Amino acid sequence: MSGDLLNLFCLVDGEPTSNAFPVSISRTSTVGELKKIIRTEKSPEFDDIAADKLAVWRVSIPVVPDNRLTRRTLRLTNGKAEILPANLGLAEPDPIELDPTDVPFDIFQEKSPQNEVRIFVRPLPKALSVSDVLLLRLPVLSWTPLMRSTTTATDSVYARTPTEVQAWTGFAAEAAAMEYSTDRTINANEIRFINEFSLVDENSVCFALEANIYYNLNRVFPNAKIGRYCETNVIGKLDRVYFRSRADIRMIIEIKTIRSLPCNDLATGYNEEMEAFARDEALPDRTRRPLHQIFGYLSHNRLRYGILSTYDQTWFLKREGGSLQISPTIYHNNNYPTLLQCYAYVMHLSDKDPISEAAPPTPSPSPPPEDPSDGNDNNDDPNDSNYHEGRDTAIREMGRRESGFLSKSKIKIKQMLRPRRRNTNAAVSKLYLHEFNIQEFLGEGLTARVFRATWQGETVALKTCDLYKNPEFKNGMLREVALYKALKNLQGVCIPHFKVAGYDGGIFSIAIELARSPIEEDNLSYQEHLKVVDT
C-alpha cells in the first residue's frame, strides 16, 4: 500500500502461484472496478469474459519455492470455500468472497506482503450447470435515504388471520442439500446481474428482483415462469406469481421495502406483535399487515407456498390450512444456502404439492366497513364540488337521451339538483372465495378482475377488487352493490341478476349472473334514472 494506491497480487483459479500478477487500485475503487482491472490485465485470455462474470475471493496464499508450481483450485462445499491443495502446512485463512460494492482499501488495511497472493480470481464457466447458477450470490444494492415506504398493505376487519405462526425449522439445510439434474447446462452469457442500482420504493425492489432473480430462474427452469399476476387467473394483484400456465398457479410472491417490513425474525416478530395486540399494548405494526396480506392471498387462491421479500431479506412461507410456517431470514448474499437455492427449493416443493385448502374464516373484531347508505361518503358531500359536477353531468347526459327532459318545470329541476341522502342499502358482509370455482378469466378494468365461476351450482361472473393494494376502490364497489339493489326490478330484464357481495380478507367481490346484454338506458323510467344518479 503506498499513498492512495493499493497493490495486490492476484491468482486465477487453476494456475500455480508462479503465475500470480500484480494490480494497483485507488483508495476509492470498489471490487467491481477491481474486476475490470483484472480483466484488462489478463487480456487476451479474458477478452470474451465480462468483468461481472469474474468472482473474486480474499485469500492469503504465501508464494514460496515449495509451492510456486503447484496449481491452486477453489472448491465450494456446503457453502464453504477452500483452496486446494492444502498450503504445505502454512497457515491460510478461509477464502472470503467479495461483493462488487466492497472497497478493497478498507478490507486490506494492513500492508500486504510482497510474496503473498491476496486476490483469488475465478471466471464464470461458459457452460454452467443448474447447481452452478444457483450457487451464485446476488450483488449488494444500496437503498437511497429518500426511500418511500410501501402503501399497499392495508389491513381489513375481514382479514384472514393465521391460527398459528411458527418457524419453518430445517428449511435452510433442506434448501442447501437439494440436488439438481446435471444433464442440462446454461450458457453463462444468459445469466446476468445488475450491480449499480439504487432501491427507492416497492417498484424499484420489484425491478431488482426481476433482474437478479426471476430473469435468471426463468432461464434455469424454462418450463416454469415467475411473472406478473395479469398473466394468470390469480385472485388479487400479486407482485409476482410462479406458474406453469394461466390456470396452473403454483406460488405467490409479495414484495416490500425494508422500511415497511423492518424485521429480522419474522415469525418471532409477528407472534410478539399479536400478543401485544391482544393485551391492547401500543406497538409498531411492522409484521402484522404484510403477513395477513400474503396469508390472505394464499388462502384465497388455496395455495401452500409463498415468498415475502425486500431484496435484502427474504422469507419463505408454507401454509397448512390456517397454520403458517416461516423460514429464517435469507439474506441476498447468503452463502449456505444462497437465495437462488432457496427459491429453487420452494419452486420444487410447490411443483409437487401446491394446493392447501382455504384457511378457516377469522372472527371479525369489529363491525364491517360502512357502506354508502351511511351518508358519510365524501362523494355524497353537498359542499364537495366534485359531487355537483358529477351529478350535473349525469343529469345533462340523461337530458340528451330522454326527449323533453329539460322541459320539466323549474321546481322539478331544483328538486333534482338538490343534494340527496341515499337511501339504498348495500347489503354486504363476509363472502367466502373458496366457495367459488374459478373457470375462466374474462377481463380486467381499473378497479377489478372478472372471472367466470360456478357458485352454488350456477355459473356467475365474479368481480374481485384487491383492497389490500387499492383501498381507495372500496366506495366504488359498494356503490355498485347499492346500484344493483336500487334497480332490483330491472334485474334479469335490463341488467344481470345480482347474487352476492362481500369481503374475504382484503378482497371485495361481487357475483352476478353472466350478462346477457348491456343496460338498456332508454328503457329506464324517470325515477330509475334518478336512482342511478343518486347511487
Q: Check if the beta carbon of residue 59 is closer than 8 Å to that of residue 118.
A: yes
Phi/psi for 482 (5° steps) reads: -60, -35
Q: Check if the beta carbon of residue 104 is closer than 8 Å to that of residue 25.
A: yes
CA atoms within 13 A on the CB side of 364: 14
| Cα–Cα distances in angstroms (integers) from residue 334 to residues 78, 197, 318, in the given order | 12, 20, 21
State whether residue 54 is helix, strand or coil: strand
- Angle CA(513)–CA(298)–CA(134) in degrees, nearest 5? 130
Q: How far apart are the first and last CA of the chain?
A: 77
State whether residue 285 is helix, strand or coil: coil
Q: Are strands 330-331 and 323-326 parallel, antiparallel or unpaired?
A: unpaired
Whether residue 463 is annotated as binding a ligand: the answer is: yes
Compute CA 218 distance to the chain's CA centroid, rounded to the nearest angstrom. Answer: 16
Say what the alpha-carbon torsion angle 152, 289, 501, 428 is, to the nearest 10 degrees: -120
State whether residue 335 is helix, strand or coil: coil
Q: Check if the beta carbon of residue 479 is closer than 8 Å to that of residue 434.
A: no
Phi/psi for 102 (5° steps) reads: -65, 150
Residues with Cβ within 8 Å of 222's Cβ and at least 6 positions away in sequence, in order, are none
Cβ burial of 244 (10 Å; 0-12, 13-18, 19+) is middle
Measured CA to CA, the distance from residue 421 to residue 227 in angstroms comes to 45
Q: Check if the beta carbon of residue 93 is closer than 8 Å to that of residue 87.
A: no
Task: Look up residue 439 and give its three cell numbers.
Answer: 373457470
Q: Return left, alpha or beta for 89; rule: phi > 0 is left, psi -120 to 50 is alpha, else beta.
A: left
The enclosing H or E element of 182 equals none
Measured CA to CA, the distance from residue 331 to residue 132 in angstroms comes to 19
Measured CA to CA, the distance from residue 475 to residue 501 in angstroms comes to 13
Beta strands in 111-256, from DSSP E residues, in sequence order: 116-123, 127-129, 142-143, 164-167, 185-187, 198-199, 225-227, 240-243, 249-255
Measured CA to CA, the distance from residue 193 to residue 486 in angstroms comes to 56
Annotated binding site for ATP: 463
Annotated binding site: 463
